[in-house]
């Protein structure tokens, strides 16, 4: 059974109840897909963190507070909130290790933004910095499963193949997004206003991140397909084959 690491938010997060719920839904998505969730707190020292990482078959970077703007060469603005320096450091290490080793990686919301920053990209500190931006942050006035807008997916991308579609409706719960998409990431889905809704790494066995929250849509076939694809890619047998092929 594939062991899937799930990054967690700090216990002091101002929106901890909401993030606790989303984390439990991510774990449920992994279990439904046939994987075994392994929670990763944000406060492990680097040696312990790497030992935890090495024992995993796949990794999920979960949603949560904003990435520190200093990580991508910007200064804070009033809209930035929930920054946790230790969580940023933990997840940047995990993302880079997953990219370096070929370990399957799936990012959700903040996870997409964190992956972009880990690769050298930059973010909109608030979507209002994007010309013509639509509203993307619907919580708390709407439930987590509110389908806020559609996205267009690049034909032939890994995401399009997984979902079997080039357009779907998604639940939108974010106020930040990619400003500059870093290499080696490729933007493969977009909202009607041009905001990046998914990225992937073409040269990686499985590295994909989405801007919406599939865990809050457990009955949707698209959500099940995403968790299923990660767990399948994280099969210990497939990991052994990848490592053998790398030599």
Q: For 3-245, CATH number?
A: 3.40.50.880
Quickly state the pLDDT bin for 239 (edges 50, 70, 90): low
* Nearest-angstrom CA–CA distance, 66 and 107: 14
Assess whether pLDDT exceeds 60 at residue 25. yes
Determine how many CB atoms are found less than 10 A away from the CB of residue 1.
Answer: 12
User: Which pLDDT tens digit goes with each residue over 120-133?
Assistant: 999 999 999 999 99
pTM for the whole structure: 0.94
Structure tokens at 7: 């990054």
Residue-range domain boundaries for the chain:
3-245
DSSP 3-state helix, strand, coil percentages of the chain (rounded to 5)? 35, 20, 40
User: Which pLDDT tens digit goes with each residue over 180-231?
Assistant: 999 999 999 999 999 999 999 989 999 999 999 999 999 999 999 999 999 9
Residue 191 class from Cβ within 10 Å (0-12 exposed, 13-18 middle, 19+ buried)?
buried
Residues catalogued as catalytic: 109, 213, 215
Structure tokens at 211: 């801007």
Structure tokens at 244: 């053998």
* Nearest-angstrom CA–CA distance, 150 and 20: 26
């Amino acid at each position: 059974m594939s062991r899937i690491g799930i990054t967690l938010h700090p216990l002091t997060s101002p929106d901890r109840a909401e993030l606790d719920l989303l984390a439990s839904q991510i774990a449920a998505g992994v279990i439904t897909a046939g994987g075994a969730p392994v929670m990763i707190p944000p406060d492990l020292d680097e040696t312990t963190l790497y030992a935890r990482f090495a024992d995993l078959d796949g990794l999920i970077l979960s949603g949560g507070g904003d990435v520190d703007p200093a990580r991508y060469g910007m200064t804070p603005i009033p809209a930035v909130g929930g920054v946790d320096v230790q969580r940023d450091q933990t997840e940047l290490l995990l993302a880079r290790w997953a990219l370096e080793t070929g370990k399957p990686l799936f990012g959700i919301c903040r996870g997409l933004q964190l992956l972009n920053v880990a690769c050298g990209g930059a973010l909109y500190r608030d979507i209002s910095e994007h010309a013509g931006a639509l509203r993307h942050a619907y919580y708390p006035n709407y439930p987590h499963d509110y389908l806020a807008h559609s996205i267009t997916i690049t034909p032939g991308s890994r995401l399009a193949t997984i979902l079997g579609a080039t357009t779907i409706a998604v639940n939108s719960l974010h106020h930040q997004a990619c400003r500059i998409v870093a290499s080696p990431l490729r933007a493969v889905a977009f909202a009607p206003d041009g905001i990046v809704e998914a990225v992937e790494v073409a040269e990686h066995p499985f590295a994909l991140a989405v801007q919406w929250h599939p865990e809050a849509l457990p009955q949707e076939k698209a959500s099940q397909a995403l968790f299923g694809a990660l767990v399948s890619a994280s099969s210990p047998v497939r990991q052994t084959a990848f490592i053998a092929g790398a030599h």
